[in-house]
Amino acid sequence: MATETVTVDHSTETIEKMRREFAARFGDCEGARVYFAPGRVNLIGEHTDYNGGHVFPCALTIGTYAVARLREDRNLRMYSMNFPENGVIESSLDGLAYRAEDGWTNYPKGVLWAAREQGYAADRGLDILYYGTIPNSSGLSSSASIEVLTGEVLRDLFGFDYDGIANAKIGQRAENAFIGVNCGIMDQFAIAMGRRDCAIFLDTATLAYEYAPIRMDGVRIVIVNTNHKRGLGESKYNERRAECEEALEELRTAASQGSEPSGRREIPSLGALTEAEFEAMADVIKSPVRRRRARHAVYENRRTMRAVKALKEGDLAEFGRLMNESHISLRDDYEVTGRELDTLAEAAWAVPGVIGARMTGAGFGGCAVCLAREEAVADLIREVGERYEREIGYPATFYVVEIGDGPVRLA
């Protein structure tokens, strides 16, 4: 197993290393600026953001860096220190279209395209170097981190006047319409609006939000990476969203005809329903599969609301219990966990001093998030790591993380 205690590293050494690499790839570093945007982890509230529900994510101190400068022409040249074998990938502001052969650069290209759609058109090309400290395909939002980071680069270099929420919307638009993943806004919002030592209690139906200080003396957040790679566009993510939309339409039809027993006549989203309201009308959803998907969306939203209340009241035991319930619902009703994530969660639940553990992110691989008392962290890493490698056949990676701020220009 591998273990890392991850802290923010905006050191002079890191920045100079990126500057040297930028100069090596693009000729010199004259006029280049340095930026950072975090990754995110969602503590509870999974697959609710596109169902009009609440989420509770926080930004991390791991994330994505960029060194960027304007060009005098309309060319785009991009390089990633994480994928040096790909070299510099070139495109143009005049050809902002998704191309599979452009690989990871489709994410920043998508942001340029989405920003232009919103009236923020770049009139000059860019040289950009990226360097990420988020494990790829881990469920910690490396793609959203790149998107929000690119939005911050554009805002600063071109003097665009959009705020963090607008940056998040641009990133989501890039993901939905350019990349083709029908995600909600949680990832981009959590990254664009991150605040140190706070999680964000976000109502995705209205974008009303509040910062909730995470005061957990003697408790650490441990992220465990399954190292099972998955791509959202190739996964069943879009299928789950479609199933929820179909279930919602069945509920709406029944409500409009006055044929469901709860008395509701308008159902704006699954997140608008209480558990009792849902159960009163669940039978109008014809497919048992769609019924389970909708049940998760409704119950997970209410779980998230109760979990934030428990945290505010200092009831960590209740918060942890709700985290565990969340994983079970994601496993049984939403069916997005899989053997690797289930193994991690079940192993963590058995370790004394672990308050709660659940999958985080889209699922189908990626990461689990655990809350553990400081004295239990070593046991968590050892016992979960040993069981995971024994049952799965390869090691997990553990990250002891901190909650960080949103995007920033560093130099």
Question: pLDDT per residue over 200-248, tens digit each?
Answer: 999 999 999 999 998 788 999 999 999 987 655 456 888 999 999 999 9
Question: pLDDT per residue over 338-377, tens digit each?
Answer: 999 999 999 999 999 999 999 998 888 889 999 999 999 9
Q: Calculate the dihedral angle through the C-alpha atoms of 258, 264, 266, 268, rounding to the nearest 10 degrees.
A: -130
Question: pLDDT per residue over 58-79, tens digit each?
Answer: 999 989 999 999 999 999 999 9
Is 363 in contact with 139 (CB distance < 8 Å)? yes
d(CA 160, CA 301): 35
Which residues are bridge partners to 33 per DSSP? 68
Catalytic residue numbers read 187
Q: Where are the domains of the chain?
A: 2-43+57-202+405-409
Question: pLDDT per residue over 37-66, tens digit each?
Answer: 999 999 999 999 999 999 999 999 989 999
Show the CA angle centred on residue 125, arms to residues 123 and 131, nearest 5°: 130
* Residue 189, C-beta contacts closer than 8 angstroms, at least 6 positions apart: 57, 165, 168, 200, 202, 207, 209
Shortest CA distance to 336 belongs to which of 382, 300, 384, 385? 300
- Residue predicted with more confidence, 364 or 104: 104
Residue with tokens 């000059």: 124
Select from 3.90.1150.10, 3.40.50.2020, 3.40.640.10, 3.30.230.10 the CATH code of 2-43+57-202+405-409.
Answer: 3.30.230.10
Question: pLDDT per residue over 284-298, tens digit each?
Answer: 999 999 999 999 999
Phi, psi of 361 (to 5 degrees): 95, -160
Encoded amino acid at 348, one letter: A
